């Protein structure tokens, strides 16, 4: 099944000039959703993954089932003010805004092998910030996996330059 056909594109959202890649249509289709989780999970084979880190908010939708399927723990990265315990934070820039993300100080333990799973890699800002948080807590990033990679924005290249293995299920080479 071609998962790319399951992605709805919404022009000029959340701002003019952006072509938003909507994964809700993929998630609604049970076969596409199953294929997505199975394929992301296969990337984790032979990685000895202790934790999956999912990024707020659509990343949670794919990170949680991947963690369950491979028998790993799940940790989350959220926007400020959403986590009730002690947090660390990292600022980042993405293709149409800048923000801060936070993670609980006990979300990852020193020496754990971690895979970051998100719905989409664009400029790489959010993923790089999540990797920074994970590494500050002592985790080792063994992969950064996404449903979609917007190759034309260069985020996966930035992640690879930092030495991370980057894989995605759907690639867009141009807007």
pLDDT in tens, the chain (175 residues): 899 999 999 999 988 988 999 999 999 999 999 999 999 999 999 999 999 999 999 999 999 999 999 999 999 999 999 999 999 999 987 666 789 999 999 999 999 999 999 999 999 999 999 999 999 999 999 999 999 999 999 999 999 999 999 999 999 998 7
- Distances, alpha carbon 27 to alpha carbons 2, 41, 148, in Å: 14, 16, 13
Which architecture does CATH list for 47-172?
3-Layer(aba) Sandwich (3.40)
pTM: 0.95
**Alpha-carbon distance 159 to 152, whole Å?**
14
**Alpha-carbon distance 48 to 145, whole Å?**
15
CB atoms within 10 A of CB 126: 24
- 155 touches 125 (CB < 8 A): yes
- The β-bridge partners of 93 are 98
Q: What are phi and psi of 111, to 5 degrees?
A: 90, -5
């Amino acid at each position: 099944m071609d998962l790319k056909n399951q992605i709805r594109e919404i022009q000029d959202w959340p701002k003019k000039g952006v072509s938003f890649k909507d994964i809700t249509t993929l998630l609604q289709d049970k076969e596409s959703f199953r294929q997505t989780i199975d394929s992301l999970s296969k990337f984790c084979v032979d990685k000895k993954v202790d934790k999956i880190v999912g990024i707020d908010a659509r990343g949670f939708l794919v990170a949680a089932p991947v963690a369950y399927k491979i028998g790993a723990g799940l940790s989350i990265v959220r926007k400020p003010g959403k986590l009730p315990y002690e947090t660390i934070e990292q600022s980042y820039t993405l293709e149409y805004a800048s923000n801060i993300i936070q993670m609980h100080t006990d979300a990852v333990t020193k020496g754990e092998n971690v895979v970051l799973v998100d719905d989409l890699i664009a400029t790489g800002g959010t993923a790089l910030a999540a990797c920074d948080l994970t590494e500050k807590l002592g985790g080792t990033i063994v992969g950064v996996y996404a449903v979609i990679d917007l190759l034309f924005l260069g985020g996966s290249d930035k992640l690879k330059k930092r030495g991370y293995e980057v894989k995605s299920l759907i690639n867009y080479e141009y807007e």
